[in-house]
C-alpha cells in the first residue's frame, strides 16, 4: 500500500490556526487539501490561495510543493512577530507585501523596528531574532533553500525550550 500524506493547500494562514484551552495550535479549513503520494514531489494545479500567503514560485511554475507550505508558514511567523496582516493597506509598492517588507527590514538590519511592541515585551531580543531568521529562511524566494517543516518545528521547539519566562510571564506550548 502506498503511503499518503496530507498536502495542505491554502491552510497556512492565521485565520486557519485555532487555539484550544491550553493554547495548543489546531489547524482548520482543509477544504482545499489533497492527498498526495509520498513520492510525488509537486502538484501542478490551479490553486485557490490567499493573496499574501502564496509562494511566489507558484506564479512562475504553477507547481505547488511542500516548500510552498513552508513559505506560507513563514508569512504566518512574520504576522506573529509584527502584528500585521500579509497585505498592508497603508504601505505602498513592494512594501505592501508583509513578506517583502520584512525581508527588506532584515536586509537593512532594522527588523526589530517592525516588531509588535507586545511581542517585544514577551520575548528576549535573541529569541525574536532567532524566529526572524527562521522566518527569513522560510520566505526564501527559491524553494530549494527553504527548510522543511519538520526542521521549522524543531527550531521553534528549541527556541521555546530555551525561553525562561520572567516573573508574571506565562508560557504557551507550541
CB 44 within 8 A of CB 62: yes
Would you say residue 148 lies in a domain? Answer: yes
Task: Centre a 10 Å sphere on the Cβ of residue 105 and count the other Cβ atoms it contains.
Answer: 20
- Residues forming a β-bridge with 65: 42
pLDDT of amino acid 88: 85
Would you say residue 172 lies in a domain? Answer: no
What burial class does residue 173 get, using C-beta atoms within 10 Å of its C-beta: 0-12 exposed, 13-18 middle, 19+ buried?
exposed
pLDDT of amino acid 36: 46
Would you say residue 4 lies in a domain? Answer: no
Q: Percentage of the chain with pLDDT > 90?
A: 45
Whole-model pTM: value is 0.73
Would you say residue 14 lies in a domain? Answer: no
Specify the number of domains making up the chain: 1
Would you say residue 6 lies in a domain? Answer: no
Domain of residue 85 covers 42-162
pLDDT tens sequence across 34-57: 444 445 554 444 445 567 888 888
pLDDT tens sequence across 61-119: 777 788 988 999 999 999 999 999 998 888 877 778 999 999 999 999 999 999 999 99
CATH at residue 135? 1.10.510.10
Would you say residue 168 lies in a domain? Answer: no
Would you say residue 131 lies in a domain? Answer: yes
Would you say residue 135 lies in a domain? Answer: yes
87/149 Cα distance (integer angstroms): 24
User: Alpha-carbon dihedral of residues 100, 104, 105, 107, nearest 10 degrees?
Assistant: 140
Q: What is the mean pLDDT of the chain?
A: 77
Amino acid at each position: 500500500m502506498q503511503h499518503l500524506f496530507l498536502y495542505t493547500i491554502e491552510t497556512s494562514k492565521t485565520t486557519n490556526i485555532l487555539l484550544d484551552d491550553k493554547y495548543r495550535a489546531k489547524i482548520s479549513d482543509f477544504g482545499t487539501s489533497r492527498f498526495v503520494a509520498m513520492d510525488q514531489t509537486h502538484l501542478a494545479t490551479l490553486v485557490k490561495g490567499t493573496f499574501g500567503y502564496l509562494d511566489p514560485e507558484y506564479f512562475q511554475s504553477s507547481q505547488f510543493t511542500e516548500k510552498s507550505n513552508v513559505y506560507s508558514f513563514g508569512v504566518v511567523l512574520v504576522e506573529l512577530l509584527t502584528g500585521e496582516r500579509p497585505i498592508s493597506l497603508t504601505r505602498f509598492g513592494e512594501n505592501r507585501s508583509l513578506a517583502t517588507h520584512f525581508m527588506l527590514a532584515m536586509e537593512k538590519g532594522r527588523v526589530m523596528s517592525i516588531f509588535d511592541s507586545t511581542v517585544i515585551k514577551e520575548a528576549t531580543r535573541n529569541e525574536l531574532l532567532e524566529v526572524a531568521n527562521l522566518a527569513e529562511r522560510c520566505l526564501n524566494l527559491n524553494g530549494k533553500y527553504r527548510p522543511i517543516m519538520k526542521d521549522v518545528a524543531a527550531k521553534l521547539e528549541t527556541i521555546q525550550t530555551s525561553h525562561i519566562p520572567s516573573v508574571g510571564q506565562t508560557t504557551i506550548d507550541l
